[in-house]
Amino acid sequence: MNDQTRTTTGIRGTRGYVAPEWFRNTPITVKVDVYSFGVMLLEIICCRKSIELELGEEVKAILTDWAYDCYRKGKLQDLVENDEDAMNDMRRFERLVMIAIWCIQEEPSLRPSMKKVTQMLEGVLEVSVPPCPYQFSTFLGDYFTDEAKVPNIAHKELSPKLH
């Protein structure tokens, strides 16, 4: 009988849902699923796909980036412009966005466990203010900053770890 066992070590997943650690030489853990869940949660609450290049606005093309930018600027209503239910319960919507931002943290150790995500969704666990999910990356321009035309900004915010 032939051995049918095979191990794949390449990146596996759907564009837009793949956790950053797949692209680095870092261990893959269950936190990759937390990241994907965060992207999916944003899709559900914002009623759109994670990547929509045809929007014509580069800022809105990547949902995770745009959602954090709207959250940071206090403009969550931009994420749900045509959704009356969400607009009528912005406190709940903000809470869901905050949970999603915790899930999409670039640093896996900052992402909560799925148990904690569930507890936050159920209202059993308080949702603290999430840090910038891209604190270990460098971005160009004013996409994630209020300063205009800053060539390279390394984002780093201090926040309590949520495990």
What's the CATH superfamily of 20-136?
Transferase(Phosphotransferase) domain 1 (1.10.510.10)
CA–CA separation, 135 and 156 (whole Å): 5
Is 103 in contact with 114 (CB distance < 8 Å)? no
Helix (H) or strand (E) holding 161: none
For the chain, report the end-to-end CA distance as a whole number of angstroms.
45
**pTM, rounded to two decimals:** 0.74
What is the rounded average pLDDT of the residues 33-44?
Answer: 96
Helix (H) or strand (E) holding 101: helix 90-103
DSSP character string of 31-84: HHHHHHHHHHHHHHHHTS-SB-GGGS-HHHHBHHHHHHHHHHHT-GGGGGTT-H
CA–CA separation, 122 and 131 (whole Å): 22
Domain boundaries of the chain, sorted by first residue: 20-136
CB atoms within 10 A of CB 95: 17
Percentage of the chain surpassing pLDDT 90?
A: 49
- Greater model confidence, 72 or 139: 72
Comparing 60-69, 105-114, 131-140, the range with the smallest average pLDDT is: 131-140
Comparing 10-19, 79-88, 121-130, 138-147, the range with the smallest average pLDDT is: 138-147
Helix (H) or strand (E) holding 98: helix 90-103
